[in-house]
Amino acid sequence: MPQPTKTAVLVIGGAEDKIHGRQILHTFFQRSGGVDARIAIIPSASREPTVIGSRYHDIFEEMGAKAIEVIDIREREHGEDSVWQAFIDDCTGVFMTGGDQLRLCGLLSDTSIMNRVRMRAQLGEITLAGTSAGAAVMGYHMIAGGGSGESPNRSLVDMTTGLGIIPEIIVDQHFHNRNRMARLLSAVASNTDKLGIGIDEDTCAMFEGNGTFQVIGKGTVTVVDPGEVSHTNFAHVGASDPLSIHNLRLHILSHGDRYDLYKRQSIVSAS
């Protein structure tokens, strides 16, 4: 009797390899059930949802998925579509594409389809992946935009509410590729109860149901842990003034490394 697939939530930094090894996309496909996978693609973050939806459709079709549906939500009322809801109820994997995370949240927040996706992912019934904008929306707090190339300051990051799939984290994507460390530090300074997760391109933090994640891919995952911060001037300085944040803990994790979200520590694998 086949073993049930071990589901996961894959938070991908963007620009994942779609042509050569496709390591991250293959991992999503396998965790969704392999040739038995029924995959829903949500391209709503993109301004070209037809193009991006069909691109991922072709990739997962080539891998051999049993069924694939592009859930092309372009208006909020589409999030109540009964045919798409039925597919979401029956699917084994959901893939949220890149684009604009504000657009994605604007179309999907509090819709029946998104509520069902969140619930099924949190219960471990499906494998959920989000790349770029689809990664940014994973936390309860979301980085909507901001700058780079300057010291951490409040005006460097625009925060809003995400989809709350993994509420404990704040995700930034295309991380070292776009010099976003100061942006993530600025976000964490205002939310010291959360964990900052910066994910490089073609890199993924794969969250298991036991509260750990594993790094997959070519780059690194940066963890900014403010759990022991002794001081920040965040509440007392102007929007463009530089921030002080004392006693931050930082981890740089690469392929194969693991991290425990609840213990807030990296897991050293026995070699």
Of 46, 57, 69, 174, catalytic = 174
Active-site residue identified among 44, 46, 132, 186: 132
Instruction: Quote the pTM value.
Output: 0.97
DSSP 132: T
- Residue 66 has a pLDDT of 98
Average pLDDT, stretch 140-162? 97
Tell me whether residue 57 is one of the annotated catalytic residues: no
pLDDT tens digits along 180-232: 999 999 999 999 999 999 999 999 999 999 999 999 999 999 999 999 999 99
pLDDT, one tens digit per residue, over 14-37 is 999 999 999 999 999 999 999 999
Q: Name the H helices within the chain.
A: 23-31, 49-63, 82-90, 101-108, 112-122, 133-136, 181-189
Point out the catalytic residue in the list 109, 112, 125, 150: 150
Over residues 173-183, mean pLDDT: 98
Domains, the chain: 9-261 (3.40.50.880)
| 174 catalytic per annotation | yes
Q: Is 132 a catalytic residue?
A: yes
HSE of 57, CA atoms in CB hemisphere, 13 A: 14
What pLDDT is stored for residue 144 in this prediction?
97
Angle at 117 between CA 116 and CA 123, to 5 degrees: 90
pLDDT one-digit tens code per residue, 41-82: 999 999 999 999 999 999 999 999 999 999 999 999 999 999
